[in-house]
Chains A and B, each alone.
Chain A
Amino acid sequence: DTGVSQNPRHKITKRGQNVTFRCDPISEHNRLYWYRQTLGQGPEFLTYFQNEAQLEKSRLLSDRFSAERPKGSFSTLEIQRTEQGDSAMYLCASFRTGGLPEAFFGQGTRLTVV
């Protein structure tokens, strides 16, 4: 267990519905990343936060995707009007920036859009 918690672990939703995922990072980590991963592929960057500030968002990211990190603690990723192409594993990484950098990953949320 890396100490990064993601909920839910699995989500099945109908096309067109909205979904929200939550990530609880390691408490002293001020940076948090979201990635999307499809089977057999590498994590695709979505967005990242430094404390509560969203520093970068992928240009490939549709405006149906939004993320927040209120008070620099947990983070949520919302997908509106889901499409079948959104089916993937969504990974959260809690990042230690002091000293030698290292990303700690959660177990991910597997989204299936039917």
Chain B
Amino acid sequence: AQTVTQSQPEMSVQEAETVTLSCTYDTSESDYYLFWYKQPPSRQMILVIRQEAYKQQNATENRFSVNFQKAAKSFSLKISDSQLGDAAMYFCAFLGGGSQGNLIFGKGTKLSVKP
């Protein structure tokens, strides 16, 4: 069974600085997707960024980028120029079966942004 591990329960960053959130996963599959989702307080979960396992190039979305290390089964999220609105829970998620499998989440990292 696949597992997703986020080893940082809480992280803090100064506004305008850069922060990296860690995620590792375990799978025997070769075709899968990885995601980072953001859940602001009392708000809906929204997609931040997505990575296809068969793509070597790391995904980027504006200030958000990932460092995908397939062999190491590592998938970290870098947030550049942190803003107050980035404060939220961040969840790493794995979708296996070439997108036909189950979508499972890590336990999350709570990110605080200091003004």
Contacts and interface: CB of A to CB of B under 8 A. Distances in A.
Interface residues of A, number: 23
A101 B104 contact: no
Contact of B103 (A2, A33, A100, A108): A33
Interface stretch (A15-23, A42-50, A61-69, A74-82): A42-50
Nearest to A50: B100
A106 B44 contact: yes
Contacts of A40: 89, 108, 110
Interface string A30-65: 000101000011111100100000001000000000
Contacts of A102: 35, 47, 50
* Most chain B beta carbons < 10 A, residue from A45, A101, A105, A106: A101
B44 A105 contact: yes
Interface of A: 2, 33, 35, 40-45, 48, 56, 91, 93, 95, 97, 100-103, 105-108
Interface of B: 6, 33, 35, 37, 44-47, 50, 52, 89, 91, 93, 95, 99-100, 102-108, 110
